[in-house]
Amino acid sequence: MIRIKHLQFILLVWLWAIASFSQSESHNVGVSYFEFPFLSQTNESQKQTIKGLIWYPTQAHAQQTRFGPYTVQANRDAKIKTGSYNLVVISHGSGSSHMGHRDTAMYLAQRDYMAVTVLHPENNYLDNSAEGKTRNWENRPKHISAALDYLLAESPFAQFINKEKIAVLGHSAGGSTALTLIGGVPDTSNIYRHCATQDDATICDLNFFTRFLARYTGLAQPESNPLDDLEDTRVSAAVLMAPVGILFSNPNALSRVKKPLLIYRAAKDSVLKFPYHADFIHNHLKHPHQYVSVEGAGHFSFITPFPEAIKDEIGEAALDPEGFDRKVFHEKMNDEIYGFLSANL
């Protein structure tokens, strides 16, 4: 009798788990646009606007919405489903957009998260004037912190956010942004030292003038410039996808990083040269963390697959190494990110 009751209990728990999982899979997604003013402290005369999208669970009917060339299964400005949601803010790579990780944002929103995709001023597909400049590495974390200020206090979604459970997810330059927000201390002078001796694709090409000075003029190296006041203690966990790593090569640059952290490395990254970036961060972190090397992946494999109609226009960012299926990988990656966040927030 006891054995039967025990089996019945196990069966009930199993059925409850299946039902709960099914419910977490069934949420429709709402999406709303936001923007707010931002005053860059590196250029006080320049007022900027931070824009982006908020993705969230809704009980409204499923509906397709079009954003430029992208069509998403999300209901524009739908009423949010009442609840308290963990918040994930997503930082795109240099020159990219707030649509670059839309599948990850939607995947999380379908599972009772609120996801926010930010468009970084002066470092996006419309205006990339800060790319390769020192102010970009300093302003990017400030953009995310300003977005948190807005979301938690001023936005119409503030009452639905669990303020104790906030994570940042970032790709490439967005990865270094996320690492900075949880205590990493970037130093832009490391780019000079690195590019004086290494041919590190994008990083050194974007900082061509720095590389030229380092290699051909014999000028003294710039003084160390650690950006040590950019941590945001509201952030409880981070996910880095093919992050820029050389900024953190000072001896104690990673000593304050003690939050839960998941790092992805693209095994066939032709943009950020191995072993100076994701692998460097992994090897120099003293705090336990998760590290995944994705076999066959290229640097841009972490971006949501592009529609076929614009792949030629997009170019390199739409391409993957031969034999790598970005769509299949994203199904696995999004599930891993969801699992990591659910376990650590």
Q: Where are the beta strands (DSSP E) in 188-295?
A: 237-241, 261-266, 290-294
Q: What angle do CA 328, 331, 320 make, to 5 degrees?
A: 40
- Integer Cα distance of 140 and 263 in angstroms: 19
User: Looking at residue 201, what is its pLDDT?
Assistant: 64
User: Looking at residue 321, what is its pLDDT?
Assistant: 97
- Over the chain (345 residues), the average pLDDT of each successive run of 10 is 45 43 65 91 71 97 93 96 97 96 98 98 93 89 97 96 98 97 93 78 62 49 79 98 95 96 97 92 96 97 96 95 97 98 95
User: Looking at residue 18, what is its pLDDT?
Assistant: 41
User: Looking at residue 11, what is its pLDDT?
Assistant: 45
User: Looking at residue 221, what is its pLDDT?
Assistant: 57
Task: Say which CATH superfamily domain 27-188+225-344 falls into.
Answer: Alpha/Beta hydrolase fold, catalytic domain (3.40.50.1820)
Tell me if residue 159 falls in helix, strand or coil.
Answer: helix
CB 50 within 8 A of CB 134: no
User: Looking at residue 120, what is its pLDDT?
Assistant: 97
Helix axes of 173-181 and 134-149: crossing angle, nearest 10 degrees: 60
CB 106 within 8 A of CB 74: yes
- Integer Cα distance of 117 and 34 in angstroms: 10
Q: Tell me the two tokens of residue 328.
A: 């299949």
**Surface-to-core class of residue 277, CB atoms within 10 Å of its CB (0-12 exposed, 13-18 middle, 19+ buried):** buried
User: Looking at residue 42, what is its pLDDT?
Assistant: 57
